[in-house]
Amino acid sequence: MILSRLSVQSFRNLAATTVEFGTGFNIFCGDNAQGKTNILESIYLLGTLKSFRMAKNPELIGWEKQFSLIKGLISDDGLNREVDLLLDQAGKKVRVDQKTVVRVADFFGILTVVLFSPEELTMVRGAPESRRRYLDRAIFAGDVIYLTRHHEYMRILKQRNALLRSGDTSSLEPWNEQLAVAGAQLVTSRVGYIGNIDKLLKETFREITDTNDEVAISYHSGSLAYSEDLNDNIDRLAAALNKRREPELLQRTTLTGPHRDDIVFTINGKPLRHSSSQGQQRCFVLALKMAEIELLRRCRSVSPVLLLDDMTSELDSRRIANLLKFLTDRRMQVFVTTTGTNDFELFEDNNLRLFHVEQGTVRPANKA
Amino acid sequence: MLQFSASFGRLLLELKKLPGVGEKTALRLAFHLLKSPGNIEALANSLISVAKNVHLCSVCFGITEDDPCVICSGGRDDSVICVVEESQDMLAIERSHAFRGKYHVLQGALSPLSGITPSQLRIAELLERLRHSQTREVILATNFSVEGEATALYLAKILKDLGLKVTRLAHGIPLGSDIEYVDAATVQRAVEGRSEF
Ligand SMILES: [Zn+2]
């Protein structure tokens, strides 16, 4: 899919503008804090309704403005769709081809985005929550039902925790049963996804780094060993809930389930967080993103657009060249921000559009 | 507005208590009513009449003017009881004309977050009712929300222990949506396609 046109109005510091994009690399260059990343953020919002900086609407809406408007024209396989996203103090409203959208499934999938930004390194070193969030978003990008299931699981979890807090657990059984089923559904999707992405990760890591380092990603759930079979996982989670009843009654919260699980990254058999350099970690996350793209392409026949925030920092020129080749080979549409001006020699491909970003104004430029 | 007329202000306040009605809608409704005094009187009378005459059926806890209600006292099939959360769910199934048995309205669903436990629902009354009736099958038609599902699971266990056949509406209802919002045709398919719990 291609985002061929983007209009923004009162979004962050950006001046109202309409930009036409190329089908290959679209590069936004400028000094820091001029608004480059805001453009990527607006595109990400258009695809996911979320900000990758975890920002809430009041931060996204321009200074002293009532609302912001982001509009995109997306073409996929000859089909053009227009997506309008309105952000106001009350929330977000979406229109697709001028029609208001109420159901989640009618919106998601029109623009699929994959993001790589420096902040995502926290995924390697940070709390399990950041890895779960990454995994959930990645699965959801190719599977709309997953979001509904996730909401459902969180609702059951909240209800069950409220019951545990109340101390009266005589009606706990139906919540256990539901938690086991909804939890196992999430876990089964996650285990299946991790299995697929692990294979592709090994390929993409080699493609980008030219090394023989063995990388792996696996799903961890304490002492619970899940399989790829849903019924099997329901039984395991239900048994684990029964086993932990006593400590749960004491701590008055749900101690087992996908909301407590984690994902482990390893390189040559050792945990990535301990045993590698920042550069290696960055390559790992980048390769993971490329694997995510490959999985969408192969299993879902979706060709996402890629957002690369501050691409060139901490990657050497050979790896950047490998990355660019990877993306060019797949004819990906890519949106890149960069402060450097020397990097452009690396883009030999002429399918390139350059934009200067200065104080919130985006101007198309000739190739430097 | 309040300084012009106290009664107009009171009307606005009452209208705003209704679900989905904000300041703007309340004003629009109030001004609309003012233009047609005949309508105001009819509306006021129907409101008073509802308050006076409509109450819950002492058997099924659906809304009714007579007690027991027409469904409970009429010649409906006694062997099947359909359990729903609210009176409007009963209405939705009735509109489909797919069901000829009787109903039981729980007046809600289990929700620890809102402090709703089994004792706050009309569950004891349902069990009492089943003890004295010819009922062989109970259809659990609570909503497909996690709360409705928990209620169905809770009831299914108790009812099966009583030796009753327990079924749950299964087909054609989208995940996470309320039965109230599903059109009659879909409900009909759901009643026909119920599966054993
Ligand atoms: Zn009745």
Which CATH number characterizes residue A243's domain? 1.20.1050.90
Mean pLDDT value of segment A254-274:
94
Position A149 pLDDT exceeds 90:
no
Amino acid in the structure at residue A119: E
Ligand 1 center–CA B145 separation, angstroms: 25
- Structural domain contains residue A117: no
B151 has a chain A CB within 8 A of its CB: yes
- Structural domain contains residue A107: yes
Last residue of a domain, one of A301, A322, A343: A301
Q: Same domain, yes or no, for A270 and A133?
A: yes
Q: How far is A107 from chain B (nearest CA, A)?
A: 17
Q: How far apart are CA B186 and CA B35, in angstroms?
A: 40
Q: How far is B114 from chain A (nearest CA, A)?
A: 9
Mean pLDDT value of segment A44-64:
86
> Does the predicted interface ipTM exceed a cut of 0.95?
no
Which two structure tokens, joined as six digits, stand for A4?
A: 């061929």
- Domain range spanning residue A77? 1-112+303-367
Q: Are B21 and B29 in contact (CB under 8 A)?
A: yes
Window from A240-254, A308-322, B156-170 with minimum mean pLDDT: A308-322
B48-86 pLDDT, tens per residue? 999 999 999 999 999 999 999 999 998 899 999 999 999
Mean pLDDT value of segment A124-137:
92
Q: Same domain, yes or no, for A341 and A316?
A: yes
Q: What is the CATH number of the domain that holds A48?
A: 3.40.50.300
- Report the 10 Å Cβ neighbour count for A243: 12
Q: Same domain, yes or no, for A289 and A327?
A: no
Q: Same domain, yes or no, for A103 and A20?
A: yes
- Structural domain contains residue A6: yes
Three-class secondary structure of residue A27 per DSSP: strand
Q: How far apart are CA B150 and CA B142, in angstroms?
A: 9
> Residue A97, class by beta-carbon neighbours within 10 Å (0-12 exposed, 13-18 middle, 19+ buried)?
exposed
Q: Same domain, yes or no, for A277 and A353?
A: no
Across chain A, mean pLDDT equals 90
Q: How far apart are CA A322 and CA A210, in angstroms?
A: 9
Q: Same domain, yes or no, for A83 and A100?
A: yes
Q: How far apart are CA B192 and CA B189, in angstroms?
A: 5
Cβ contact B147–A159 (<8 Å): yes
Query: When comparing pLDDT for B190 and A159, which is higher?
Result: A159
B13-40 pLDDT, tens per residue? 999 999 888 889 999 999 998 888 888 8
Rg from Cα positions in chain A: 22
Residue B182 pLDDT level (bands cut at 50, 70, 90): very low
Position A202 pLDDT exceeds 80:
yes
Position B185 pLDDT exceeds 60:
no
The reported pTM is 0.84
Q: A148 contacts in B (CB within 8 Å)?
A: 175-176
Ligand 1 center–CA B107 separation, angstroms: 13
In 3-state terms, chain A is what percent helix, strand and coil (to 5)? 45, 25, 30
Torsions phi, psi of A172, nearest 5?
-75, -30
Q: Same domain, yes or no, for A280 and A211?
A: yes
Cβ contact B153–A171 (<8 Å): no
Last residue of a domain, one of A261, A285, A301: A301
Position A23 pLDDT exceeds 50:
yes
- Structural domain contains residue A134: yes
- Structural domain contains residue A122: no
Ligand 1 center–CA B63 separation, angstroms: 8
Q: Same domain, yes or no, for A147 and A281?
A: yes
Cβ contact B150–A168 (<8 Å): no
Q: Are A344 and A321 in contact (CB under 8 A)?
A: no
Query: Alpha helix locations (H) across chain A?
Result: 36-48, 57-60, 122-125, 128-142, 144-166, 173-209, 230-243, 245-251, 272-275, 278-300, 317-329
Q: How far apart are CA B101 and CA B80, in angstroms?
A: 5
Last residue of a domain, one of A250, A267, A301: A301
Please list, in sequence order, all residues whose beta carbon lies within 8 angstroms of the beta carbon of residue A156, skipping any fewer than 6 positions away. A175, A178, A179, A182, B146, B150
- Structural domain contains residue A252: yes
Label the pairing between strands A67-76 and A2-9: antiparallel
Residue to test with chain A: of B114, B146, B159, most A Cβ within 10 A: B146
Which two structure tokens, joined as six digits, stand for A217?
A: 């990603």
Q: Are A17 and A342 in contact (CB under 8 A)?
A: no
Mean pLDDT value of segment A55-72:
88
Q: What is the pLDDT of residue B48?
A: 94
Cβ contact B113–A175 (<8 Å): no
Q: Are A289 and A118 in contact (CB under 8 A)?
A: no
Position A342 pLDDT exceeds 80:
no
Label the pairing between strands B55-56 and B63-64: antiparallel
Q: Same domain, yes or no, for A137 and A160?
A: yes
Mean pLDDT value of segment B145-149:
92
Q: Which of A145, A171, A182 sits opposite B110 (nearest CB)?
A: A171
Q: What is the pLDDT of residue A18?
A: 96
Q: How far apart are CA A151 and CA A234, in angstroms?
A: 18
Ligand 1 center–CA B57 separation, angstroms: 5
| Domains contained in chain A, number | 2
Cβ contact A174–B110 (<8 Å): yes
Label the pairing between strands A215-220 and B137-140: unpaired
Q: Which of B113, B153, B175 sits opposite A159 (nearest CB)?
A: B113
Q: Are A165 and A252 in contact (CB under 8 A)?
A: yes
Ligand 1 center–CA B123 separation, angstroms: 15
- Structural domain contains residue A358: yes
Ligand 1 center–CA B143 separation, angstroms: 20
- A289: nearest Cα among A31, A52, A38: A52
Q: Same domain, yes or no, for A107 and A157?
A: no
Mean pLDDT value of segment A102-121:
84
Position B184 pLDDT exceeds 50:
no
The torsion defined by the Cα of A144, A147, A153 and A157, in degrees rounded to 10, comes to 180
- Structural domain contains residue A118: no
Q: Count Cα atoms within 13 angstroms, Cβ side, for A11.
A: 29
Q: Same domain, yes or no, for A83 and A152?
A: no
Residue to test with chain A: of B106, B113, B161, most A Cβ within 10 A: B113
Q: Same domain, yes or no, for A146 and A285?
A: yes
